[in-house]
Structure 1
Amino acid sequence: MRLLSHLKQWRAVATEAKHVSFAVAKFIGLIHLTESYLCSSTLLHGPSMLPTFNSSGDVVLAEHLSHRLGKVVPGDVVLVRSPDDPKKMVAKRVLGLEGDQVTFFDPNRIRKHNTTVVPKGHVWIQGDNTYASFDSRSYGPVPYGLIQGRVFFRVWPPDGFGSVDD
C-alpha cells in the first residue's frame, strides 16, 4: 500500500516537472523568436558612427522586420554582419540601394572622389565618421542578405534616450 502511495506521489511530481519544463521551453522559444525576428538590444561601440553614437558605447534597439520586407531606405542605420569577419556585427548608415549611383570620398586613393553604381541585391553602407570607418569604401557594396536589423531607438546613455534620427 505504501509503495502505491509513493508511486502516485512520484507520478504527480513527474507530471508537474513535465508541465514546468514545457512552460520553460515555450518561454525560451518566445524569447528566441523575439530576439531573432522582431526586436533586440545591441551594444554599439567604436568611432565609426561618431557623432551619431558614442565611441564608448550606446545600447540601442534594432528591429528585424524592415530588411526582411525590403523596407530599408537610405539614411537608415542598420546592423550588418561584417563581410570581412562573419562573427562580427557592425552598425553603418545605408547610403545607397541597388541601382543607386553613389559618390564617396576615399582618402586612400589618388582620386579622392569616386562614383559607383550599387549592384542588384546590394546596399552601400558607410559610417558617419568618414575618417574612422571601415565600410563599403573598403570592401565595396554589401549583399542585402547581410543586413540583420535596423536601429531605431537608443536606450543608453540616458541623455541620448529616444529615437535614432537620420
Structure 2
Amino acid sequence: MFIQNLLRSVMFGVPIGITFLDTVGYVAKVEGISMQPVLNPESTDTDYVFLSRWAVRDYKVERGDVVSLVSPKDPNQKIIKRVVALQGDVVSTLGYKNQYVRVPEGHCWVEGDHTGHTLDSNTFGPVSLGLVNARAIWIVWPPSRWQSLDTKLPDSRKPVSAANL
C-alpha cells in the first residue's frame, strides 16, 4: 500500500512540479558582477532571485526589466541583464560597432548595470525576444536582501528615441 501511494504521489507530483517550473517560475543563483550594484553588490555576495516565466509569456518586456535570457554567444549559458531598449527604439551604444542602433522588430537591447564589466548588447548587438525566458522580480536570498527588483532605467541609459513612449 505504501509503495502504491508513493507511486501515485510521484506520478501526479512530478508533472505538476515541472508544469509550475515551466510556466510560473523558479529560483536561480546569480553569479558574477555584471549586474552590480543591484545584484551581488559585493564581490563575495551571491544573490538568488525568483525568475517569473509567466511575466514574459507573451514576449512582453518593458524598459528597465531585469531579464534572464539565453546567451547569444553561448546557447548553453543563461545570462541576466536589464532591458534598455525595445523594438523601434534608437539606443546610444557603449563600444558597439555603430554608435547608434535602431532595435529591430522582435528584438530588445540588454545591458548589465556594471558598465564595462559585462558582456551584453554592446558586445553582441540586439537580442531576439525569443531568447528571453524569464523576468527577475524578487531577490529571495540572502534574507537580508529580500526586495523586489527595481525596473527603473538609469537616465544615462535611456534610449535616444523611444518608439512607444
Provide the TM-score with structure 1 as the length reference: 0.82
Bigger relative CO (Cα 8 Å, ≥ 6 apart): 2
Q: Unpaired runs of 5+ in structure 2? A: 152-165
Q: Once the 2 structures are TM-superposed, how far is the Cα of residue 23 of structure 1 from its aligned partner?
A: 2.0
Q: Unpaired runs of 5+ in structure 1? A: 1-12
Q: Once the 2 structures are TM-superposed, how far is the Cα of residue 17 of structure 1 from its aligned partner?
A: 3.6
Distance 2:7 2:46 in 1: 37
Q: Which amino acid aligns with 2:133?
A: Q
Cα deviation 1:72-104 (Å, max 9, x = unaligned): 101000000111111111000001111111112
Cα deviation 1:20-63 (Å, max 9, x = unaligned): 31321211111111111101000001010011111432000010
For the residue of structure 1 that corresponds to 2:73, the secondary structure is coil
Distance 1:90 1:53 in 2: 13
Aligned length: 148
The residue that corresponds to 1:91 in the other structure is: 80
Large movers: runs of 4+ above 6 Å: none
- 1:1-166 map, 5 Å: 13=1, 17-54=3-40, 55=43, 56-106=45-95, 114-166=99-151
Q: What is the CA RMSD across the aligned residues, in angstroms?
A: 1.7
Larger radius of gyration: 1
Identity level (%): 33
Cα deviation 1:114-156 (Å, max 9, x = unaligned): 1101111111100001110000111111111111100000011
